[in-house]
Structure 1
Amino acid sequence: MQTIEDSALQARREGAVLHLTINRPEARNAMNAQLLEELIVAFEAVAACTEVRAVVLRGAGGNFCAGGDVKDFARLRRQEAAPGTDPVAAFNRRFGTLLELVNGVPQAVVVVAEGAVLGGGFGLACVADVTIVRNDASFGLPETSLGVIPAQIAPFVVQRIGLSQARRLGVCGGRFDGAEAYRLGLAHFVEYSDAALGAREAQVLAQIMRCAPGANAVTKQIMLAVGGEPLGQVLDRAATLFSAALNGPEAAEGTQAFVEKRLPQWAAAGNVETGEADVR
């Protein structure tokens, strides 16, 4: 995906890292149909792109994402539906598809959140592998205070911070800052300046690049299976995956690098020249 002037999503490659920037600053990066589809296309392509090892998602103009675009909701309500169809439900479920995609891609996903992190933006923060926030970011699940529900977001909030806190936020239309997001376990790091935010992002990406990409992908696969199937079944498959990893090329290279006191090839190659991301 190349940066296009009228695109709701900008993309650039820096080595093995793909930077995606939500680009609707005039609307505080609220989620409309165009942005939703561009994000889905991008993450579908990312999932199949072995050259990308990490994705950083952020918002332009000082906000991450202020939730759903109210103008789009109004348009959907006015839209004449064909018999047996429900455009509002279809649009809402499409956002769930995006959250499933971001949650499940084999690459590490890093969200850098500042400003508004509401509704859909809240959901995206919940499905990142690493979420870094500004202390003064504004988090919230405002849906119930507007008479609607966080339908696609709610399951991922429960997975992220647990049922008890998720219920409280849901029924209270919870609003809180980045420091509280860190306390709740929604965010992994909270920073108090732009410089600190950038430094933390660089540190996290450096740590990701020291890990073997295949091992990271399989580790995510095992962790995401927990709670969705019997534990014994998860452990049986994990044992098989461990055997495959131990006998695979990454383990051979990692072991050899350790013996030779050098970086493994994947870590040494973590900072290649900047290139355009072909994830159209």
Structure 2
Amino acid sequence: MQTIETRLENGILRITLNRPSSRNALSRQMVAELQEVVAQASADDSVKALVLRGAGGHFCAGADLADMAAARMESAGDVDAMAAINRSFGTLISAVHDCPKTVVAVVEGSVFGGGVGLACVVDVCLVSGEAKIGLPEVTLGLPPAQIIPFVVGRVGLSEARRLALTGARIAGADAFRIGLAHALAEDEAALDQLLEQTIAQIQRCAPEASRMTKSLLLATTDTPVNDLLDRGAREFAAAATGEEAMEGTQAFLQKRPPNWSSVNRKP
């Protein structure tokens, strides 16, 4: 990998966007590498959660405009080719959104365009009060095409309209206030502490039960309630008779932390 770095520790895959000279702007190569890492992590039982963060104190400044200009030159006006490049980012954020593992984003510094889109598809978004966040696409003559559904899903249509149609920049505290972020830290040190607290909370949760729970949560957007309740009952029964529930119950009765690594995973 040339544009990202990864480190797996105790089931937590830390993914660092590593183009600090461009404030971790999304090039075509970075999008492809992120797609590969997320796909691998989604299928890897040794990965319990993913943490997305940017190098150099910036999360992600959105699309790499120089790379976009090069793509436009290479496409020689081919609209379908440009559409395919744009759609590839939608494929990436859909993959992050649908990842069966818990995904955390650490949002600080510059967070624009596609960086906001990534922040809107994670399960837990931690933001620094010093972050600068916005959707500047319309000021560049472009629509925020691939991130619109996810921004609306996170902050609601009213706030999405304000942000997308004005190109306004907001601070981390405002992102927390409108629900884009789930927790607010005053500075980098507090953000690091908040991340470690969040990881500790995730480590207490059973991996398979977390996967089931996330799948049920995501299904609420397009599944009739009774169908979802029927599915939930079947998954609850499977979990209740499984090894995670036995370990969790024994740990509770014995007043000790559960040892999820001792539980056999599905093949």
- Residues 1:184 and 2:178 aligned together: yes
- Distance in 2 between the 1:194 and 1:10 partners? 20
Higher relative contact order (CA 8 A, sep 6+): 1
Cα deviation, 1:113-160, whole Å, max 9, x if unaligned, reads: 111110010001001111111101010011112111111101001111
Structure 2 distance, partners of 1:163, 1:240, is 34
The offset of 1:229, in angstroms, is 2.4
State how far apart, in whole Å, the 2-side matches of 1:82 and 1:142 are. 23
Say if 2:21 is the partner of 1:21.
no
Task: For residue 227 of structure 1, report the CA deviation from its aligned partner.
Answer: 1.7
Measured at CA, do residues 47 and 152 of structure 1 come closer, stay the same or move farther in structure 2, by a change above 3 Å? Answer: same
Deviations 1:43-73 (A, max 9, x none): 0000001101111110011111000011121
Q: Secondary structure at the match of 2:13?
A: strand
Question: Number of residue pairs matched?
Answer: 263
Counterpart residue identity of residue 9, structure 1: I
Q: Distance in 2 between matches of 1:96 and 1:244?
A: 34
Question: Match for 1:181: what amino acid?
Answer: A
Aligned residue in 1 for 2:253: 259
Distance across 2 between alignment mates of 1:219 and 1:239 = 12
Unaligned runs of 5+ in 2: none
What SS does the corresponding residue of 1:58 show, helix, strand or coil? strand
Give the one of 117, 132, 142 matched to 2:136: 142
For residues 186-205 of structure 1, the aligned pairs below 5 Å read: 186-205=180-199
Amino acid at match of 1:117: V
1:59 aligns with 2:54: yes
Partner of residue 93 from structure 1, selected from 87, 100, 105: 87
Which of residues 208, 213, 217 is equivalent to 1:219? 213
Q: Matched residues in 1 for 2:43 and 2:209: separation?
A: 16
In structure 2, how many angstroms separate the alpha carbons of the residues matched to 1:81 and 1:96?
22
Q: How far apart are residue 267 of structure 1 and its match? A: 7.7
Q: How does 1:67-216 map to 2 (within 5 A)?
A: 67-80=62-75, 86-216=80-210
- Unaligned runs of at least 5 residues, structure 1: 270-280
Q: 2:244 aligns with which of 225, 243, 250?
A: 250
Q: Contact (CA 8 Å) 1:211, 1:267: kept in 2 or not?
A: no
Contact 1:9 1:39 in 2 (8 A): yes
Secondary structure of 2:47's counterpart equals coil
Other-structure match for 1:42: 37
Contact 1:210 1:267 in 2 (8 A): no
Q: What TM-score do you get using the length of structure 1 for normalisation?
A: 0.90
Distance 2:75 2:25 in 1: 24
Q: Which residue matches 2:26?
A: 31
Most deviating of 27-36 and 228-237: 228-237
CA distance in 2, matches of 1:80, 1:200: 44
SS at match of 2:56: coil
Q: Which amino acid in 2 is paired with 1:22? A: L
What percentage of aligned pairs have identical amino acids?
49
Would you say the 8 A contact 1:43–1:102 is kept in 2? yes
Q: Give me the whole-angstrom Cα distance separating, in 1, the residues matched to 2:75 and 2:136.
A: 27
Maintained 8 Å contact 1:81/1:87: no
Q: What RMSD in Å do the two structures reach over aligned CA positions? A: 1.7
Offset, 1:81: 6.0
Q: CA deviation at 1:80?
A: 3.6
Q: Is the 8 A contact 1:29 1:64 kept in 2?
A: yes
Report which of the two has the higher share of helix: 2
Query: Cα offset for 1:214?
Result: 0.6
Contact 1:209 1:267 in 2 (8 A): no
What is the deviation of 1:209? 0.3
